[in-house]
Structure 1
Amino acid sequence: MLFWYKPTQWWTWMLWPFAMLMRCISVCRRYAYQQGWLQSYKSPLPVVVVGNISVGGNGKTPFVISLCELLIEQGYKPGVISRGYGGKADNYPLLVTSDTSGKIAGDEPVLIFQRLQIPVVVDPVRSNAADYLATQCDVNVIITDDGLQHYALQRDIEIVVVDGKRRYGNQHIMPMGPLRESVSRLRDVDFIINNGAVHEGESTMFLMASECKRVDGVEGKLAKQSVNACAAIGYPPRFFNTLIEQGFSLDKQIPFADHHAYSESDFAQFSTDKPLLMTEKDAVKCTSFAQPHWWYLPIDGQLPADFTDPFLEKLTQIKEIKC
């Protein structure tokens, strides 16, 4: 909601009682798990949670992909678990394969699997997905894409990804603001990753665009020109601005709701005489009906040394303890 990222207006204070209720529930729920009053699952493998305290696209998925690539380079065998938002399977846990569609698993798990070809398990109950990875898959570290507030799964490392430009908006709890938990929650996490800006006490990750690729998988190269664009992510303006920075001019730009389930009719509003650019997360949901002039822009995260070195050191210590 746009008003979350603007100075607080007088009328938003009418939402304050609901925000306080949300905060009370959040704090009490976390405390109940910490005290053992609510049951939680402890995995025999190290569990790294990548999440945020606010709603909307903060860059978690590119970070998860880059983090897994780092672990693979270091000799680890990571596996990823996800709630699978936007997907609906008949049975869970769901192990993502090359035949799994975004409609079944959700766009982000399919994207992660296609990029990394490592075990990715989807389950609305993330603790069940973690148990499946630990017992059924050849992995030795579990990365959970989102799930900072899923306290039914115990974790060894918590990483929060922050939008470097939007930060925490008006710093109020939903529905008054964009926060799932108070900013004070950040005092308890292990690492804070700032997506795109420099901030004291945070490690900066920059997202780097690669060459555009055709959604239908056919090899090709797209020249910088006037294009149409769409995006169904948490913060579509970031994608549109990235295209402009890459040298494209945008004729029409249409944002969709995050995790939007695309159909062919969604694209009738775009002319066919210009290339249509979308995010990689969008593309995994459109391959079955992709047109030759549809392209997507891959994005990679660059992890800073002031994060990677202490993270790997901490993970080594945790692995030694669990072994």
Structure 2
Amino acid sequence: MRQGLERHLLRRWQAAGPPPFYLRLLSLLYRLATKRRWSRPAERPPCPVIVVGNITAGGSGKTPVVAAVARLLCEQGQTPAIISRGYGGRVSSEPRAVTSVSDPAEVGDEPVLLARRAGCPVWVCADRRAALHAGLRGGADVIVADDGLQHPNLPRSFEICVIDGQRGFGNGHLLPAGPLRQPLERLDSVDATLIKRTGSTDCSADLPGMHVPVEPGAPYRLGTGEGTEGTEIDRQATFDAVCAIGNPDSFFALLEALCYRFRRHPFPDHHVFSGREFSGLAGPLLVTEKDAVKLERLTGLPECWVLPIEAQLPETLIGQLLSHVREFRPS
């Protein structure tokens, strides 16, 4: 049901011509309900707070950018912490620390992945302000917020908006008539705009911002960990490509660019997998790292390979971020 509705809306959002009247009417109600969250908060945080978010629904590639920003800060001698709401987990009003072995059903799949990839503490909480202060109490001197452009209660000092170069802004309408969570004018108040590019996918020439390539690493067997020696994927096999991210087509486009042969199996974002969903698949499986943190808890799966990806931050953005952190002064 949910998957069918998502596919229907995604087709509508990318289609030419005006959306149906009933969707435009619902968009008006959405505008009235969310307009107070459209402006960038003026409150100054107690430390640099870098928000990585988007203004569209359906995924844009925030997670690899968040991980890349956190690793950059670590390399420069900072002590960052990542905060997240923990979508897909059992969201709590109390901050909760996430580790590489945390249960995605409890804290969300993306926070577990970030705990493994970013090299810094990760905190989840429904109250992002509480998560911020938990990070500070844990010793952080910079906070990186996974999502947050639509959350006025979170003070921030630097905003990054990530745009999916494949989908762009769709038809340019607000939810649910279009994919926009905020109007395009919100981009005028962010500090940097990134256009995610996956594989050989062409990006629309009229999208504003810096291109951020998302590059694949070497595939590894599920449960063995990246960089394990003695394991090599059979590039001549036909894979069952399983994907439950905001934009599954971006994963499939990457596999096509890498010349894999595969069958597509898209699922809704943050989908909770069960073993029976794989009983009819011949395998081998090829999955994203975000999905792997959930699949590794299942038994009886076919042979499964994980394709890691990393975002390559533009030099201009790196300079902006490092200058901001150095020059930030609390109020």
Percentage of identical aligned residues = 36
Q: Is there any run of 5+ residues in structure 1 with no aligned partner, and where?
A: 35-39
Aligned residues: 310
Amino acid at match of 2:120: I
| Residue aligning to 1:207 | 214
Provide the C-alpha distance between the structure 1 equivalents of 2:244 and 2:108, rounded to a whole number of angstroms. Answer: 13
Amino acid at match of 2:274: S
Provide the C-alpha distance between the structure 2 equivalents of 1:73 and 1:114, rounded to a whole number of angstroms. Answer: 16
| Residue aligning to 1:37 | none
Amino acid at match of 1:260: H
After superposition, where does 1:22-37 map in structure 2 within 5 Å? 22-30=30-38
Residue among 8, 22, 27 paired with 1:14: 22
Provide the C-alpha distance between the structure 2 equivalents of 1:298 and 1:110, rounded to a whole number of angstroms. Answer: 14
Amino acid at match of 2:264: Q
Provide the C-alpha distance between the structure 1 equivalents of 2:89 and 2:261, rounded to a whole number of angstroms. Answer: 33
Residue among 61, 67, 70 paired with 1:68: 70
Q: Which runs of 4+ in 1 moved over 3 A?
A: 29-34, 197-201
| Residue aligning to 2:251 | 239
| Residue aligning to 1:51 | 53
How far is 1:213 from its partner?
A: 1.1
How far is 1:313 from its partner?
A: 1.3
Provide the C-alpha distance between the structure 1 equivalents of 2:191 and 2:34, rounded to a whole number of angstroms. Answer: 20
- Does the 8 Å contact 2:194/2:210 carry over to 1? yes
Residue among 242, 248, 252 paired with 1:230: 242
Matched, 1:93 2:95: yes
Provide the C-alpha distance between the structure 1 equivalents of 2:90 and 2:77, rounded to a whole number of angstroms. Answer: 33
Provide the C-alpha distance between the structure 2 equivalents of 1:303 and 1:242, rounded to a whole number of angstroms. Answer: 18
After superposition, where does 1:73-222 map in structure 2 within 5 Å? 73-88=75-90, 92-135=94-137, 137-196=138-197, 197=203, 201-217=208-224, 219=228, 220-222=231-233
Provide the C-alpha distance between the structure 2 equivalents of 1:92 and 1:304, rounded to a whole number of angstroms. Answer: 35
How far is 1:73 from its partner?
A: 1.4
Amino acid at match of 1:212: P
How far is 1:23 from its partner?
A: 1.9
Distance 1:26-1:114 versus aligned 2 partners, 3 A rule = same
| Residue aligning to 1:322 | 330
Provide the C-alpha distance between the structure 1 equivalents of 2:270 and 2:244, rounded to a whole number of angstroms. Answer: 6
Residue among 265, 279, 293 paired with 1:268: 279
TM-score by length of 1: 0.90
After superposition, where does 1:292-311 map in structure 2 within 5 Å? 293-311=303-321
How far is 1:241 from its partner?
A: 1.7
How far is 1:103 from its partner?
A: 0.7
Provide the C-alpha distance between the structure 2 equivalents of 1:116 and 1:200, rounded to a whole number of angstroms. Answer: 28
- Does the 8 Å contact 1:214/1:292 carry over to 2? no
Distance 1:166-1:89 versus aligned 2 partners, 3 A rule = closer
How far is 1:92 from its partner?
A: 2.5
Provide the C-alpha distance between the structure 2 equivalents of 1:33 and 1:24, rounded to a whole number of angstroms. Answer: 19
- Does the 8 Å contact 1:194/1:205 carry over to 2? yes
| Residue aligning to 1:288 | 297
Provide the C-alpha distance between the structure 2 equivalents of 1:26 and 1:322, rounded to a whole number of angstroms. Answer: 29
Provide the C-alpha distance between the structure 1 equivalents of 2:170 and 2:45, rounded to a whole number of angstroms. Answer: 35
